[in-house]
Structure formats: C-alpha cells, structure tokens
Amino acid sequence: MSNYLSMSLRVGMTPESSCNYLDNETEQLGVVIDHHWLTPEGYAVLIASGYRRSGNAVYKPMCPSCNACTPLRIDCQNFVPSRSQKRQLSQVRRLRWEFKAELDPEWFSLYDRYIRHRHADGSMSPANKQQFFEFCTAPWMTTLFLHVYQDDTLVAIAVTDVFEHALSAVYTFFDPESRLSLGTLCVLYQISYGQQTGRQWLYPGYQIDQCPAMSYKVRFSPHQKLIDQRWG
C-alpha cells in the first residue's frame, strides 16, 4: 500500500449535471483514470481519501458549488449500538446472516421486487442482472454478499467490498414489504463481521445531512468524517 502513496493520480472530470440528492444543486465527479490504482490495495488508499466505487469506476464528488457529500467511516472495533439499535437486534432473533462469495439463486427475485417497489422510476428499473453486476462488482476487487434470512427465506442482501483492514458497503436491497429495519440491520451485521474478522472500518458511503435518505450513517457511533482531507 505504501507504494501507492508515492504514485501520481490522474482524475478526469465529468460534465456538470443535476444533483440526484439535493434540489437546485449541480453535481460533478472526479473519476480516476489511472488504471494502476484499480486494485484492492490502490482502492484501499483511495477510499480512505474520500473516493467510492461504482462498478469499475472510482470517483469522488468535486462539485463546483457544493460540498454536502461528506465521506464517513464507522469504527467497527469500538462500535457501541444505540438504544434503538439494541432494541432492533433483540427483536430479530429469527434472523440469521451469512457472508458468501456467490449470490443465492433466489437473489434476483428479491432484487426485482425491491426495484419495482422502491425505484420503479429510477435508472435501475426494470431490474437487470447484467446491469446489477456491472454496478456492484469489479473484476479487480474482492466482494462478498451479506445474505440475511428470516427463518429460511432470503430477505436482504448487502454487497460488501473487502479490504485487508476495512469493509465498504456498496449496495443493499431487501424485502420492500418487510416491517423490519432491514437496511439498518445490514449495516449492523457488516459492523459485526468487521469485528469478527479484525477489520477496523466500515465505509458506508457519503453522509449528506440535507438528504434524509443519505443521512442515516451518523446514527452508527463512533464514526469519523473526512473534512479537509483529515479524518476526525
């Protein structure tokens, strides 16, 4: 990893476009164009510098007039669940979870229901297997799939990148008709896996305070935010 710290990094800028999260804002991304960074070791350096992955593309918001997207990481080894998180865990003893290298056969049925109920008007509709793998996986990255079961029924999957000392939450989908807080539970299970495997950090993505759908990450403590290229 130390070799990457001395390497140059070239970034290409996307055209400005409407922000997907905040009204009246424009978005512009810096995308890594040096392919020698696209390894687990290189991406470990980049994600600790505020970058994220979407398929093969590693990017970072570099918006001209907004800095609302704040990188955040959860300290797995020192994590303390809140009262509500403890209550959620105690109420779901019928759930079991497991990380797998491959998806269960019934994954696509669950994914299709999730997209139809939650994102019917979005770019990922209709659900498509090839599009899913292009978005969620990369040939150079080690990725595992958290499977969550209620009794013997698959109810949630969280795509998770695996580094030597960290995890990164890539994408989560779940039974849209469940009354359980499956998205929150997936994060708790990822933290638990980090604890069990001796990994320090879980990177859940960007915290956006003004966007309710993207502001949940601060509920997991302790956590750090990357501000002015310093974690704290």
Q: Give one word for 55, left, alpha or beta, with left for phi > 0 and alpha for psi -120 to 50.
A: left
Domain match, 30 and 77 both: no
Domain match, 138 and 47 both: no
Least confident range from 4-13, 66-75, 141-150, 192-201: namely 4-13
Domain count of the fold of the chain: 2
Domain match, 190 and 166 both: yes
CATH, residue 211 = 3.40.630.30
Return the pLDDT at 2.
61
Domain match, 38 and 60 both: yes
Return the pLDDT at 88.
87
Domain match, 35 and 107 both: no
Return the pLDDT at 1.
57
Domain match, 163 and 137 both: yes
- Picking from 85, 63, 24, 44, the residue whose alpha carbon sits closest to that of residue 216 is 85
Domain boundary among 69, 101, 118: 69
174: pLDDT strictly greater than 90: yes
Return the pLDDT at 129.
96
Give the residue numbers spanning the domain of 125.
Answer: 73-231
Domain boundary among 37, 69, 101: 69
57: pLDDT strictly greater than 80: yes
Domain match, 193 and 126 both: yes
Return the pLDDT at 13.
97
Q: How confident is the model at residue 125 (pLDDT cuts 50, 70, 90)?
A: confident
Domain boundary among 69, 99, 122: 69
Domain match, 136 and 209 both: yes
Mean pLDDT for all residues in the chain: 94
Return the pLDDT at 119.
77
Least confident range from 35-44, 147-156, 209-218: namely 209-218
160: pLDDT strictly greater than 80: yes
Residues contacting 199, CB < 8 A, separation 6+: 76, 163, 164, 165, 166, 167, 193
Measured in residues, the chain has a length of: 232
Q: How confident is the model at residue 181 (pLDDT cuts 50, 70, 90)?
A: very high
Question: DSSP assignment, residue 228?
Answer: T
Q: What is the mean pLDDT of residues 46-74?
A: 96
Domain match, 39 and 104 both: no
Domain match, 150 and 207 both: yes
- If you search the block for the tokens 């687990």, which residue do you land on? 40
- If you search the block for the tokens 């359980």, which residue do you land on? 180
Return the pLDDT at 3.
81
Q: What is the mean pLDDT of residues 64-89?
A: 94
* H/E run at residue 7: none
Least confident range from 82-86, 136-140, 219-223: namely 82-86
Higher pLDDT, 229 or 91: 229
Q: What is the mean pLDDT of residues 204-212?
A: 92
Domain match, 155 and 131 both: yes
Domain match, 58 and 90 both: no
